[in-house]
Amino acid sequence: MPRLVLMTIGNDHTEGTRPGIRSPISCVADNDQALGVMVEALTKSKFWGSTAMFVLEDDAQDGADHVDSHSPAYVISPYTKRHTVDSTLYNTTSVLRTIELILGLKPMTMFDAAARPMANAFHGSANLAPYRNEPPRVALDEKNPQRSATAGRSMKLDFSASDLADEHELNDILWIAIKGTTPPPPVHSAFAQ
């Protein structure tokens, strides 16, 4: 296995509520299922004892929900503290700095050099127990209806590549499609404004 693998799973971007396209719930569940399959395979492989997987949103600065604009990061390793939420303030460069330290690499920029490594997420003894993927609880092939309150709005958005659709418009569409109510205004952190 290579020492570093970068991968994206893009179905959670969805295509809003475009008619006939997989629904937002199905797209996100498909992404979750793909991650679960990868983690299960990794934990059952010969590489598990010396591997760490970091899972981030690809656009953590985008798409603040109704709570705030912070995003979770998941650290998957036999050396990860299990059943623990680490509330240390990290950012994306913290993940990069941690990877550099694990691989014995020098920082690439002053930003990752100054970043806080994610040391609090790890401990010294390995737990090699494998992960068992949980099957999705929703249908992975559910389609958007031909007519919905937001179908026309979704048809106007550019989904030809990730992150081209207007963030605020897509967030409103997704909220309405999933919650069925008018979305509250997003709350961005003071630094994201």
Global pTM reads 0.84
Residue 69 confidence (pLDDT): 59
125, 81 in Cβ contact below 8 A? no
Q: 89-98: long-range contacts (C-beta < 8 A, 24 or more apart)?
A: 89/116, 90/115, 90/116, 90/118, 91/115, 92/56, 92/60, 94/118, 95/54, 95/56, 98/54
55-75 pLDDT per residue, tens = 987 765 555 544 455 678 899
12, 107 in Cβ contact below 8 A? no
